Amino acid sequence: MIVTRFAPSPNGPLHWGHAYSAIVAHDFAQAAGGRFLLRIEDIDGPRSRPRLADEFRRDLEWLGLEWDEVLPQSTRLELYRKAADELLGRGLLYPCTCTRKQIEALGPKMGPEGLVYPGTCKGQQIDPTKPAALRLDVERALADVGDLSWHDALAGEQQADPHQLGDVVLVRKDLPASYHLAATLDDAADGVTLVTRGQDLFAATHVHRLLQALLGLPVPQWHHHGLLLDDDGKKLAKRRGSKALADHRASAENGREWADRLRMDQWPCGISFRST
């Protein structure tokens, strides 16, 4: 059975980009008689606003989508801790006390998701009184599991290349997991068989595939869809003035009609679509 999911973070309202993402996931599941899941990724404590999750549910209803809701990330911290402990015990994580500023000052390489950590703390004695994140030693991890591949419905077969993102953080200084660890574990726990999300997260999948191999998790298929862009050709974002779905909803626009237009590649005014 096909199981897809929509996994928004309640740190800002949903906009058309999210609507499109939810519709893609919903329609794949519906067409195959599968399940479409909603998972609230509320792990980011200080930025997370629980009331927004209710707004998200109203937005999805407004778009005419039906879903099954699974556990939010905040209830799964123990699962993340256990997995991190296991990787730590196998010598695949190392503590890192670097701040973003310090990393920037090193003039590191830029990767598909911004700065690539140059491995400064790897193999170093770390001051135990300083807060430390735990990073994945990608080289060692790959030596453990060997060559990996994964399949994207649009881009085809991919050779996993987690070096693109460098030694990513798996345990944040302030939380028992990062997005990469939490989302990978959740997708497995929720039985997701087709991960649909925007092409902006394509590179992250190289890391997720590696984590699946390290932790013995099932390997889903992926579908990284194109992105909705604003007038400046940038990804939609509330902070750049993208209108929230909640605002369209509040002005009594018809969400189901909007959803059907998105399905037919008819984009709201001022929005374009890019698929690479």
Asked if 9 is part of the footprint of ligand GLU (rule: CB under 6 A), the reply reads yes
Which of 4, 14, 41, 207 binds ligand GLU (CB under 6 A)? It is 41
Asked if 15 is part of the footprint of ligand GLU (rule: CB under 6 A), the reply reads no
Q: Which of 35, 36, 37, 40 is nearest to 14 (CA)?
A: 40
Rounded to whole angstroms, the Cα distance separating 221 from 75 reads 26
159: region left, alpha or beta (phi > 0 left; psi from -120 to 50 alpha): beta
Asked if 255 is part of the footprint of ligand GLU (rule: CB under 6 A), the reply reads no
Query: Up-side HSE of residue 267: CA atoms within 13 Å toward CB?
Result: 16
Residue count of the chain, please give it: 276
Asked if 63 is part of the footprint of ligand GLU (rule: CB under 6 A), the reply reads no
C-beta of 9 vs 178, nearer to ligand GLU: 9
Phi and psi at 196, nearest 5°, equal -110, 135
Which of 32, 103, 115, 201 binds ligand GLU (CB under 6 A)? It is 201
Catalytic residue among 109, 130, 234, 238: 238
Q: Is 82 a catalytic residue?
A: no
Q: Give the binding range for ligand GLU (CB under 6 A) out of 4-12, 137-145, 152-160, 238-246.
A: 4-12
- Token pair listed for 230: 């604003």
C-beta of 15 vs 121, nearer to ligand GLU: 15
Which of 15, 35, 180, 197 binds ligand GLU (CB under 6 A)? It is 197
Query: Closest separation between CB of residue 7 and ligand GLU, Å?
Result: 4
Asked if 183 is part of the footprint of ligand GLU (rule: CB under 6 A), the reply reads yes
Q: Give the binding range for ligand GLU (CB under 6 A) out of 1-9, 53-61, 100-108, 137-145.
A: 1-9
Burial class of residue 43 in the structure, from the number of CB atoms within 10 Å of its CB (0-12 exposed, 13-18 middle, 19+ buried): buried
C-beta of 56 vs 62, nearer to ligand GLU: 56
Asked if 42 is part of the footprint of ligand GLU (rule: CB under 6 A), the reply reads no
Burial class of residue 149 in the structure, from the number of CB atoms within 10 Å of its CB (0-12 exposed, 13-18 middle, 19+ buried): exposed
Binding site for ligand GLU (CB under 6 A): 7-9, 41, 183, 197, 201
Active-site annotation, residues: 238
